């Protein structure tokens, strides 16, 4: 990661308390810990960026995404569930950083995708129901055809 030049306004990690010595405090402290993890990742990358700990451009973030995807694939090939989980978290964190670069909040983007998925799935269920079939009575080929049909009908 390349470091951006830091603005000199004083160290925000220091605060005066009762004694004249300054106590260290991280700039990452203070955010709501009960917010969704993607929101926390978005906020943490914003805070780190403000002090110059950031990629110089989108290409740097995308290279990091490629690196993390490689590590995820390696973990999958090793079938190590603990490492797979760790690499999945790394991928999600990098995607939150990509979102920050694009100024698209990851929670809002994911919410929109969930709504789209639900709408398309409902389309598929209704189409099968009209044919007198359930999902269990269908196969992947038919469901995929209906899924693609729902996309063409723009059921988002």
Query: Could you write out the three-class secondary structure of 103-132?
Result: CCCHHHHHHHHHHHHHHHHHHHHHHHHHCC
Asked if 46 and 99 sit in the same domain, the reply is yes
The count of domains in the chain is: 2
Q: Give Dmax over CA atoms of the chain in angstroms.
A: 78
Residue 6 located in a structural domain: no
Residue 34 structure tokens: 């009960």
Asked if 43 and 100 sit in the same domain, the reply is yes
Residue 94 structure tokens: 């990098």
The per-residue pLDDT for range 30-77, each reduced to its tens digit, is: 778 889 999 999 999 999 999 999 999 999 999 999 999 999 999 999
- Give the bridge partners for 24, in sequence order: 14
Asked if 58 and 119 sit in the same domain, the reply is no
Q: Residue 57 belongs to what domain range?
A: 33-104
Residue 19 located in a structural domain: no
The per-residue pLDDT for range 73-96, each reduced to its tens digit, is: 999 999 999 999 999 999 999 999
Residue 28 located in a structural domain: no
Residue of 6, 24, 29 lying closest to 14 (CA atoms): 24
Supply the CATH number for residue 41's domain: 1.10.287.1080
Residue 13 structure tokens: 């990690």
Asked if 37 and 98 sit in the same domain, the reply is yes
Asked if 95 and 41 sit in the same domain, the reply is yes
Residue 97 located in a structural domain: yes
Residue 15 located in a structural domain: no
In terms of pTM, does the model score above 0.95? no
- Give the bridge partners for 15, in sequence order: 23
């Amino acid at each position: 990661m390349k470091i951006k030049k830091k603005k000199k306004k004083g160290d925000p990690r220091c605060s005066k308390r009762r004694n004249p010595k300054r106590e260290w405090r991280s700039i990452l402290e203070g955010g709501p810990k009960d917010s969704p993890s993607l929101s926390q990742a978005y906020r943490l990358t914003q805070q780190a960026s403000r002090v110059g700990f950031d990629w110089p451009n989108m290409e740097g973030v995308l290279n990091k995404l490629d690196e993390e995807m490689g590590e995820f694939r390696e973990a999958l090939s090793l079938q190590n569930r603990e490492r797979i989980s760790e690499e999945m978290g790394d991928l999600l964190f990098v995607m939150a950083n990509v979102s920050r670069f694009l100024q698209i909040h990851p929670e809002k983007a994911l919410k929109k995708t969930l709504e789209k998925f639900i709408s398309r799935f409902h389309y598929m269920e209704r189409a099968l129901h009209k044919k007198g079939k359930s999902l269990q009575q269908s196969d992947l080929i038919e469901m995929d055809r209906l899924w693609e049909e729902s996309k063409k009908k723009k059921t988002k």
